[in-house]
Amino acid sequence: VTSLGFPWVIVSRVLFFWPFLFLGGVSSYALVMHFVKNRQFVWLGPLVYLSNTYILMLASGGQMGLVLSYAIAPLVLLSFIKKQGLLLAVSAILMVLFDLRFTYILSIVALLYVIMVIPMSKWFATLKFMLPAVVLTLGFHSIWIVPSILSRSFHLPEGYGDPVWLSYLSWADFSKTFSLLHPNWPDN
């Protein structure tokens, strides 16, 4: 898009920032509307969801794939809860497209929802409902999943298992995130 002459400042806002606000606002609002009985405070859900310190840290660090995956997560969860198969498949495909890690986390949340909320007698029906969405998502992403599985030359970078990486990648612990500290402050 930038090769067409559009400045990156505009492109980044149109392709990343505004979709994040729109998707995150709509999806979190819909999820909160499903659970909250007092409609007077329903606006608080999207406000907290889109302005917590974790997402602010991701957005300020330029992690737009994570941010977009985070924004669509409530829609995936809501379509799972309401058993809307097509919406679940499309939103899950987008979520995996943006970032796979939030998909893992949301899968654990969905599993906990099944175990704690859905009666055991309906577990098979829930699995039957989820199967087409899972097959569609895996099928859509098979272009990179299959080569990753079949490739024998796949290996992690040199020194990836070294514990030094853990401290480097985990700079933002809870206290630093909560106080809005940034590793490049005041440079950014």
pLDDT tens figures, 90-117: 999 999 999 888 888 999 999 999 999 9
pLDDT tens-digit readout, 41-96: 889 999 999 988 788 877 777 788 888 999 999 999 999 999 999 999 999 999 99
DSSP summary character for residue 120:
G
Phi and psi, residue 159, nearest 5°: 75, 15
d(CA 68, CA 81): 21
CA-nearest of 47, 40, 113 to 78 is 113
Enter the pTM of the model.
0.76
Going from the C-alpha of 73 to that of each of 65, 96, 106, 119, 151, the distances in angstroms are: 12, 10, 7, 24, 30
